[in-house]
Structures are given as C-alpha cells and as structure tokens.
C-alpha cells in the first residue's frame, strides 16, 4: 500500500520522472546538434577550399614528418603546457598578439604606403598631424582652453586640405630624399613618440625620452645597415618600428608585470622557429614539397591570367585593404554619430521624437537591403551624379560605406543601450552636462561593443562583391591603387573573375587559394575584434 | 489636536538621534530649501500635491512614507533630476538659496553642483576609486590639489582606511557598502551645500547600513542632508526633522523627528508609524 511507503522510498526515480528526464535530454541533444551545424559547416567549407588550395596529396610523407616534428609537435606541446598555467597562458596570448599583430601591422602599413606613394602619404601625414600637435602644445601652455577638442578636429581637416593643395608642388622636390626617410617619418617617429610617452607615464620623463630616442636611433641604424647591405631599407625600417619595437615593448612589460609567465612569451617564437627550421630541413634534404597554390607568389605577385603558378593577388589584397580602410574613415564617424544621436540625444516624444523613431525603423530596413541595390545607389551617386571615374577607390569605399552604415549604427546603438542608466544618472547627479556624461562615462563603457560591431562590419565589407560589380570596379588590375581616385580592384572580384577562367588549374587551384587568403583576412579582422573586446572588457 | 492628545506615547523603544548638539531653536536656523505649493505630474498622474516645506541648514531631514507617496519625486525635484524624465511636469516653486531652481535662467548642471545626490543602488563609475571621487572635480574644472581633495572626501566618507592602498583599482571591486560610501565620497568631493540621499541603505546589509547611518550623522556637521528612507527606525535614529508623505503625494506632517515619532498631530501619521498601514 502506498500509505506504507516512507518518504525516503518516494525519492527514487519513478517511471514518470525518468520519462520527463529523457525528454529533457533529447531536447538538449537537439540543441547541441543545432549549435554544431554552424561550426561544422564552417570547418567543412574551410577544409574543402583548403584542400584544393594547398593540395596536401602532392606532398611526400617525409615533408609531413618534418613539419610534424619541427612545427606541429613543439607548438602543440607548448600550447598544452601553457594551458594549465594561467600566468604562462596570459603571457603567451600577449606575445602572440604582439608578434602577429606587429607583423600584420608592418605588412599592411608597408603595402598601403608603398601603393599610395610614400612621398604623398608623408606630406599628408605631416600636414594632418602637425597642426593638432601645435594646438595641443598651445593648450598646455595656456589655461582654460574650452575649444581644444573641436580645434584639433578642425586643424586636422584644414591640414589635409592644405596638403591636397601643396602636395603637387612639394612632392617633386621631396623626391630627392630617399624613400626610407618617408617611412621613418611615418612609422618610426610615431613609434618613438608612443614608446616615449608610455615609458614616461610609468617611469618618468627622463627614461621616457631615452626610450623614445633609442627607438629613433634604432630606426636609423636599421636603415643604415640595410643600405650598406643593399636590402630594402624602407621595408626593414617599417618592420623594425611596427614589429620589433612593439614586440620588444610588450615583451618587456610582460616580463615586468607577469614574471611568473615569462616562459609563455616564447610561444610565437616556437611557432615561427619551427616553421623556419622545417623549411631549412626540407631545403637541405631535398624533400619533395606539395605542389600547392598557397605560395609567396600568390600574395606577393601581380595577376597572371595565363599561368596559374604565376598568378598573384597582391594588387587585389592591397586594393581591398585600401577600399575597406577608406570606407571605415567614411562610414564610422557617420554611423557612430548617428547612433549616439538616436540613443542619447533624440527625444522620445514630440515631432523630433517621431522623426527619430521613423529613422530607427528605416535603419533596420536599410540593413536588409540587398547589396546589389547598394551597388545601383553607388552607381547613381558616384558615377552619374558626382561624375567620378569608373571603379575608383572613392566610389567603392562610398558604396560599401553605405552598405555597412546600418550595421555600424545598430551595433553602436546596442553598445550604448547596454550602458546602465544608473551611470548616466550618477554622472548627471554630479553636475555633469550631457556632453561630459557622454564623454566621461557612457562612451568609454560603450567602446568595446562599438569596436566589435564595427570591425565585424569591416569583415562583412571586405567580402562584398555584388555592389562592386555594379559600380564597375575592374576585376583585374596589375598594380595596387595609387590613390583614392585611381582605379582599384578587390580580392572577391578577382576570385569571381578567375572562377570563369578556361583553365581548370585556375578554377580548382588559384580560386580556392585566393579564397583562403580572403577568409584569412576576414578571420584576422574578427580576431582583432575579439582581442579588442577582451582587452577593454578586462580593464573595466 | 484633541486626537493626538489622547493618543498614548508610541515608539518609545526607538532611540532618537542625539539632536541636542544641533537642536537650535527653529527660528534661529537658516532655511536652505523652501518649496511652495509644489505639484508634480508624470503625464496625467499627479505625483506630488501642493507640497510646501522648509528645509534647514545642517539638518538631517528624513522623508518617509509608503511606496508611491512621492517622497523620491520630491527629492529629485530639488536638484532637477526629474528633468531627465520627459513626461515629468513641475508646478510651483523650489527655492534654493532664495532662487527658484525652476526659473529659466537656472542651469540644472550648475544646480546639481551645489546639490549632490546619492542613489538607492550604489552606482560607482567603472573607473578607479581615485577617478570616481575625482569625477566631480574633473568635470567642474577643479584647480586645486585633486589628490588631496580625494583623500579628504574618502576620509569624510569613512572609506579612506579601507581603500588608501588600492586607489587605482576599480571602484566596482569594492563591496556594496563600500561602493555606497564611495558614492558618498564622490558626492561630497566637489563640496556641495546639500546632499540628497534616495534610500541609500536599502540595498545594503545591516552592518553596511549602520556604517552609512553613522556617516550621515557626521556629514550633517558640514552639509544639509535630505534622506528618503523606508526604514522608520532609521529616520528616527538619524534625522533631526521628519516629513511624512502619504498616498497621493501629499505632505501630511513635517516636524521635529522626536515630535513625529512620539506625538504626531495626525492620526494617519501615527497609524503609519506604528505600522497599521504602509
């Protein structure tokens, strides 16, 4: 009889309970499967194009063994070792970010400046940075300058305007100077100033000046040595300033602040050293390498539509970077500004409130407009109305900028909305104006979310093809764009064009290899977004 | 009158704060804030109904009453925090230092620099402890020694000894009670004249709350404190004068705290204080 059961007996697992649990478990399995669909399809996609691009089947077993021993095994062992020790893991992550971030920064800086002509970039750089520095210096010497911020902005714009006028007359005489001097001014000087200020803020002005001076002297020494040996002085100066210096600084800081994790700093060097050692062994013993399409030629050379092994997408990569970079300059201020207005300033009621609501609804609509239609808009706006040349950087950047504008606005709005209202109230309660509240409290809190959203928008833009086709961007160019008004091409367009090439080694080799490059660019951007988000997330 | 005369003494177990030191005769005290016939509406709903009261310098004035009685609304009217609510409409005068704060030529930003506020939920900024306290100084362009002022304010908020070695760590790393004292330090750093407190201890544990209560007592030496509280014992302990708001946004009784708790004029106030409703 049921009444004779003690309470303890009723705690067992009854059939009804078991059935309920089974339902729950099945539901969980279904959810896990749904989650895995995304990651699995990404992996399959990546594997599919990577196999075509890399052609691992053509490599000899010895080749695999060599790299397994020099690259894969040591790196895996090191990663496993670092994983268990938080301090080591932190240092490892820092070192990886510094080394690969620095290499990437150097490569992009050199490629872009080289394409746009170092002399022109130098002139623009000087005219855009000297006026704000003068304004700042004036601000330091006098007190109570309320308009320093706007003045800096205006001075930059005026400086760029002046540079546009004087660029022609100056760049001729400037051409007498060696090219590396331009890179020294563009990269080494800012790096020296940065290291100097950072060091000064921690360890006093004297040490800061010494550190900054050391960076500048190092840059000169590198230039001198490379001229003496006949190496590319410009590239080496950039590598020194944007790779060696930041890596050195970060490593030093890490040793100082996280001495327990010192070993972790070796992580990226284990990886790079392994790759170099492997290459040396393969070379030394004449081991058969895979007949891959992922070669230095692909990323460093210009296009060749006849011989697949000679085809490179360097102009396309640089074109993509310049287009997307200029697009960011155009779209981010507008998008972030619009989001700040809609979230922080626009009233909820009255005529302006209704207007703001209408705007918000239509921004969502805008986000759903097919990209081909944006191409039509770009064609009408830049080619027809403004009369710009066909397929130039400005038109491409402008069109893609319009395309990502709603994404930037929406993600910035989300970031602003996630700032607790308590903080705004607290700031207003302290007698802060709306502007002060925004600048001191709301925006710093919203930066990580905003950056994440905007960098994801960049990643979206770098893969866009359809709007560029519509505004008649060339599918193939043989040199990177030389300026904002010169014609350019982008990597996805070249992939699209090459996929129609008559030769199968283009369709099944160069296309997937270029796709791997494009995906790598995109993943690098996403990784940057994550790094930035984590960094800011930790500080607050 | 006849009603209250006949009512027995109540709440004798509640300690009333030692007002003796501050308890000057009423007419000798300076009025800091005076409201006249203050009506506040949220849209169509009336939140305050004809509130007229005077608040005296260096007093701790407690505002008590059941939820929704308008005491927080009254508090936020004083430094115009209600401006932020679009549907809020204010009629009547709130005079601070002889000037109606709702006059067109009064800048709410300037007003809030004179009348600081501490909120119910501790809301330190996600900045270092130092930057939290220095926030008001920074936005007001303080020219003196910021570090010195930060130290003074943290000492005044009875937090200095606990945080002096970690001024650069985030204000969010502190415990709830410490965060609230940080918010008080932040509010007093720019040296306001009045500090408004909107249920400052209701989100805190009893120990942290009693620390804040001790602190409020000290603050009254230098500042005028107006505190909204749900906790009647707290009002009785720390305030010099108590205003009782009852439903409908009406100020029912406003007098010396001792009088309110021991011998209120109004039967409804007595009922509220003895816990018959509210």
Q: Do B112 and A348 touch (CB under 8 A)?
A: no
Q: Please identify among residues 126-145 of chain B the ones whose CB lies closer than 8 Å to any CB of chain A.
A: 126, 135-136, 138-141
Contacts of A444 in chain B (CB under 8 A): 126
In this structure, the answer to whether residues A47 and A67 fall within a common structural domain is no
Q: Do B125 and A441 touch (CB under 8 A)?
A: yes
pLDDT the model gives residue A273: 92
Answer whether A180's CB lies under 8 Å from A220's CB: no
pLDDT the model gives residue A115: 92
- Minimal C-alpha gap between B110 and chain A (Å): 6
Mean pLDDT score of chain B, rounded to an integer?
A: 85
What six digits make up the tokens of A333?
Answer: 């201020």
Write the DSSP assignment of B175-206 as a string of letters: -HHHHHHHHHHHHHTT--SEEEEESTTTTS-H
Q: Is residue A535 part of a domain?
A: yes
Q: Which of B126, B172, B186 sits opposite A430 (nearest CB)?
A: B186
Total domains present in chain A = 3
CATH superfamily of B2-123+193-273: P-loop containing nucleotide triphosphate hydrolases (3.40.50.300)
Last residue of a domain, one of A53, A83, A100: A53
In angstroms, rounded to a whole number, what is the distance separating the alpha carbons of residues A93 and B36? Answer: 64
Answer whether A540's CB lies under 8 Å from B170's CB: yes
Beta-sheet strand order (sheet of B88-96): B45-56, B31-42, B88-96, B99-100
Q: B246-273: per-residue pLDDT in tens? A: 888 899 999 999 999 998 988 888 888 8
Instruction: Count Cβ atoms within 10 A of the Cβ of residue B25 and give its class: 0-12 exposed, 13-18 middle, 19 or more buried.
Output: exposed
Last residue of a domain, one of A231, A255, A289: A289
Q: Do A348 and B86 touch (CB under 8 A)?
A: yes
pLDDT at B204 > cutoff 90: no
In this structure, the answer to whether residues A233 and A315 fall within a common structural domain is no
Handedness of CA B263, B267, B268, B270 (dihedral sign): positive
Contacts of B138 in chain A (CB under 8 A): 440
* Better pLDDT: B86 or A212: A212
Q: Is residue A294 part of a domain?
A: no
In this structure, the answer to whether residues A77 and A190 fall within a common structural domain is yes
pLDDT the model gives residue B8: 40
For residue B184, give Cα distances in angstroms to A426, B119, B148.
Answer: 11, 9, 17
Q: Is residue A486 part of a domain?
A: yes
Q: Please identify among residues 80-99 of chain B the ones whose CB lies closer than 8 Å to any CB of chain A.
A: 81, 84, 86-87
Average pLDDT over every residue of B227-240: 91
Q: A313-357: per-residue pLDDT in tens? A: 999 999 999 999 999 999 999 999 999 999 998 888 788 889 888
pLDDT the model gives residue A144: 60
Last residue of a domain, one of A226, A257, A289: A289
Q: Is residue A107 part of a domain?
A: yes
Q: What is the DSSP letter of A295?
A: S
What lies within 8 Å, CB to CB, of B37 at 6+ separation is: B50, B51, B52, B91, B92, B93
Answer whether A240's CB lies under 8 Å from A188's CB: yes
CB proximity A428 to B under 8 Å: yes
Q: Is residue A6 part of a domain?
A: no
pLDDT at B19 > cutoff 80: no
Contacts of B170 in chain A (CB under 8 A): 540
CB proximity A9 to B under 8 Å: no
In angstroms, rounded to a whole number, what is the distance separating the alpha carbons of residues A412 and A390? Answer: 33
pLDDT at B129 > cutoff 90: yes
Question: Which own/partner pairs from B83-90 qualify as long-range (CB within 8 Å, at least 24 positions apart)?
Answer: B83/B108, B84/A425, B84/A428, B85/B42, B86/A347, B86/A348, B86/A349, B87/A349, B87/B42, B87/B43, B88/B40, B88/B41, B88/B42, B89/B40, B89/B41, B89/B42, B90/B38, B90/B39, B90/B40
In this structure, the answer to whether residues A46 and A93 fall within a common structural domain is no
In angstroms, rounded to a whole number, what is the distance separating the alpha carbons of residues A304 and B56? Answer: 87
CA nearest to A349 within chain B? B86
Write the DSSP assignment of A244-264 as a string of letters: IHHHHHHHHHHHHH-GGGGGG
User: pLDDT-based confidence at B192, cuts 50/70/90?
Assistant: very high
Q: Do A431 and B112 touch (CB under 8 A)?
A: yes
- Minimal C-alpha gap between B97 and chain A (Å): 17
CB proximity A201 to B under 8 Å: no
Q: Is residue A259 part of a domain?
A: yes
In angstroms, rounded to a whole number, what is the distance separating the alpha carbons of residues A407 and B243? Answer: 52
- The closest alpha carbon to A451, from A517, A528, A386, belongs to A528
Q: Do B123 and A422 touch (CB under 8 A)?
A: yes
- Minimal C-alpha gap between A89 and chain B (Å): 23
Q: Do B125 and A427 touch (CB under 8 A)?
A: yes
State the complex-level ipTM.
Answer: 0.85
In angstroms, rounded to a whole number, what is the distance separating the alpha carbons of residues A247 and A30? Answer: 46
Angle ∠(B204,B207,B212) on CA atoms, nearest 5: 70
- Minimal C-alpha gap between A512 and chain B (Å): 47
Number of H helices, E strands in chain A: 23, 0
HSE, CB side, 13 Å, CA atoms: give it for residue A330: 21
CA nearest to A350 within chain B? B86
CB proximity B24 to A under 8 Å: no
Which residues in chain A land under pLDDT 70?
A: 1-5, 143-146, 537-540
Handedness of CA B259, B265, B266, B267 (dihedral sign): positive
Among the residues of A230-313, which ranges form H helices? 233-239, 245-257, 267-284, 296-300
What lies within 8 Å, CB to CB, of A5 at 6+ separation is: none
User: pLDDT-based confidence at B10, cuts 50/70/90?
Assistant: very low
In angstroms, rounded to a whole number, what is the distance separating the alpha carbons of residues B136 and B112? Answer: 10
In angstroms, rounded to a whole number, what is the distance separating the alpha carbons of residues A535 and B195? Answer: 37
pLDDT the model gives residue A5: 65
Q: What are phi and psi of A176, to 5 degrees?
A: -65, -35
Q: Please identify among residues 162-221 of chain B the ones whose CB lies closer than 8 Å to any CB of chain A.
A: 170, 172, 183, 186-187, 190
In angstroms, rounded to a whole number, what is the distance separating the alpha carbons of residues A52 and A495? Answer: 14
Among B83, B109, B127, the strongest candidate for a mutation testing the A interface, having the largest count of A CBs within 10 A, is B109
Q: Do A427 and B126 touch (CB under 8 A)?
A: no
pLDDT the model gives residue B275: 81
Q: Which of A423, A436, A445 sits opposite B123 (nearest CB)?
A: A423
pTM equals 0.83
- What is the β-pairing status of strands B115-118 and B224-228? unpaired
Q: Please identify among residues 48-77 of chain B the ones whose CB lies closer than 8 Å to any CB of chain A.
A: none
The 3-state DSSP class for residue A374 equals: helix
Among A431, A435, A449, the strongest candidate for a mutation testing the B interface, having the largest count of B CBs within 10 A, is A431
Q: Which of B112, B124, B141 sits opposite A429 (nearest CB)?
A: B112
- The closest alpha carbon to B122, from A536, A420, A447, A433, belongs to A420
- Minimal C-alpha gap between A501 and chain B (Å): 57
CB proximity B110 to A under 8 Å: yes
Q: Which of B84, B113, B119 sits opposite A431 (nearest CB)?
A: B113
In this structure, the answer to whether residues A28 and A128 fall within a common structural domain is no
CATH of the domain at A416: 1.10.3720.10
In angstroms, rounded to a whole number, what is the distance separating the alpha carbons of residues B126 and B136? Answer: 15
Q: B157-184: per-residue pLDDT in tens? A: 889 999 989 999 999 999 989 999 999 9
In angstroms, rounded to a whole number, what is the distance separating the alpha carbons of residues A492 and A508? Answer: 16
In this structure, the answer to whether residues A45 and A72 fall within a common structural domain is no
Q: What is the DSSP letter of B227?
A: E
The 3-state DSSP class for residue A139 equals: helix
- What is the β-pairing status of strands B224-228 and B60-64? parallel
Domain span at A20: 14-53
Q: Do A429 and B87 touch (CB under 8 A)?
A: no
């Amino acid at each position: 009889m049921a009444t004779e059961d003690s309470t303890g007996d009723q705690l067992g697992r009854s059939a009804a309970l078991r059935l309920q649990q089974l339902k729950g478990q099945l539901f969980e399995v279904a959810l896990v499967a749904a989650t895995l669909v995304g990651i699995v399809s990404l992996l399959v996609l990546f594997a599919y194009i990577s196999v075509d691009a890399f052609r691992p089947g053509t490599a000899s077993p010895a080749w695999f063994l060599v790299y397994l021993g020099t690259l894969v095994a040591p790196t895996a062992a090191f990663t496993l070792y670092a994983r268990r020790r938080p301090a080591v893991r932190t240092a490892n992550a820092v070192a990886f970010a510094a080394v690969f971030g620095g290499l990437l920064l150097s490569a992009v800086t050199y490629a872009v400046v080289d394409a746009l002509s170092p002399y022109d970039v130098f002139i623009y750089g000087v005219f855009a940075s000297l006026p704000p520095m003068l304004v700042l210096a004036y601000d330091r010497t006098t007190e109570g300058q309320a308009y320093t911020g706007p003045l800096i902005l205006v001075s930059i714009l005026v400086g760029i305007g002046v540079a546009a006028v004087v660029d022609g007359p100056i760049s001729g005489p400037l051409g007498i100077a060696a090219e590396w001097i331009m890179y020294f001014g563009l990269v080494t000087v800012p790096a020296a100033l940065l290291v100097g200020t950072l060091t000064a803020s921690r360890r006093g002005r004297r040490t800061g000046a010494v550190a900054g001076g050391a960076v500048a002297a190092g840059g000169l020494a590198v230039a001198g040595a490379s001229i003496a040996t006949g190496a590319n002085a410009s590239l080496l100066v950039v590598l020194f300033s944007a790779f060696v210096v930041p890596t050195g600084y970060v490593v030093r800081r890490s040793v100082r602040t996280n001495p327990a994790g010192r070993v972790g700093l070796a992580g990226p060097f284990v990886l790079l050293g392994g790759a170099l050692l492997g290459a040396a062994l393969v070379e030394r013993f004449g081991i058969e390498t895979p007949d891959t399409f992922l070669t230095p030629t692909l990323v460093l050379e210009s296009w060749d539509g006849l011989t697949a092994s000679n085809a490179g997408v360097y102009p396309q990569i640089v074109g993509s970077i310049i287009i997307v970079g200029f697009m960011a300059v155009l779209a981010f201020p507008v998008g972030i500004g619009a989001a700040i207005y809609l979230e922080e300033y626009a009233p909820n009621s009255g005529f302006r409130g209704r207007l703001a609501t209408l705007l918000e609804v239509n921004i969502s609509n805008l986000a759903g407009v097919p990209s081909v239609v944006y191409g039509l808009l770009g064609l009408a706006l830049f080619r027809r109305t403004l009369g710009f040349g066909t397929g130039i950087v400005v038109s491409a950047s402008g069109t893609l900028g319009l395309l990502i504008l709603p994404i930037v606005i929406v993600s910035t709005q989300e970031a602003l909305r996630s700032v607790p209202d308590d903080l705004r109230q607290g700031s207003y309660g302290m007698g802060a104006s709306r502007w002060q509240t925004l600048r001191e409290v709301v925006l710093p809190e919203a930066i990580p979310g905003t950056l994440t959203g905007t960098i994801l928008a960049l990643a979206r833009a770098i893969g866009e093809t359809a709007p560029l086709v519509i505004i008649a961007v060339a599918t193939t160019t043989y040199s990177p764009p030389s300026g904002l008004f010169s014609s350019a091409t982008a990597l996805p367009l070249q992939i699209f064009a090459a996929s129609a090439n008559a030769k199968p080694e283009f369709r099944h080799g160069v296309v997937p290899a270029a796709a791997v490059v494009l995906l790598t660019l995109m993943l690098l951007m996403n990784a940057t977004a994550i790094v930035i988000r984590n960094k800011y997330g930790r500080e607050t | 009158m006849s009603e209250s005369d006949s009512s027995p003494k109540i709440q004798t177990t509640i300690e009333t704060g030692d007002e003796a030191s501050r308890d000057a005769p009423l007419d000798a005290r300076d009025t800091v804030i005076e409201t006249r016939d203050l009506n506040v509406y949220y849209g169509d709903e009336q939140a305050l109904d004809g509130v007229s009261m005077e608040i005296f310098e260096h007093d701790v004035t407690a505002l008590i009453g059941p939820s929704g009685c308008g005491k927080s609304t009254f508090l936020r009217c004083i430094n115009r925090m209600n401006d932020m609510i679009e549907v809020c409409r204010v009629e009547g005068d709130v005079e601070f230092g002889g000037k109606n704060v709702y006059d067109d030529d009064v800048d709410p930003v300037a007003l809030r620099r004179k009348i600081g506020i501490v909120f119910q939920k501790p809301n330190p900024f996600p900045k270092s402890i130092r930057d939290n306290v220095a926030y008001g100084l920074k936005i007001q362009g303080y020219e003196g020694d910021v570090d010195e002022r930060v130290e003074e304010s943290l000492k005044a908020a009875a937090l200095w000894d606990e945080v002096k070695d970690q001024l650069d760590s985030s204000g969010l790393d502190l415990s709830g009670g410490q965060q609230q004292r940080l918010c008080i330090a932040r509010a007093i750093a720019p040296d306001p004249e009045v500090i408004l407190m909107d249920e400052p201890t209701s989100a805190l544990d009893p120990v942290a709350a009693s620390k804040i209560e001790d602190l409020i007592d000290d603050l009254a030496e230098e500042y005028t404190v107006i505190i909204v509280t749900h906790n009647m014992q707290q009002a009785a302990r720390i305030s010099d004068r108590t205003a009782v708001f009852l439903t409908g946004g009406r100020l029912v009784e406003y007098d010396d705290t001792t009088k309110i708790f021991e011998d209120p004029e109004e039967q409804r106030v007595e009922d509220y204080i003895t816990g018959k409703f509210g």
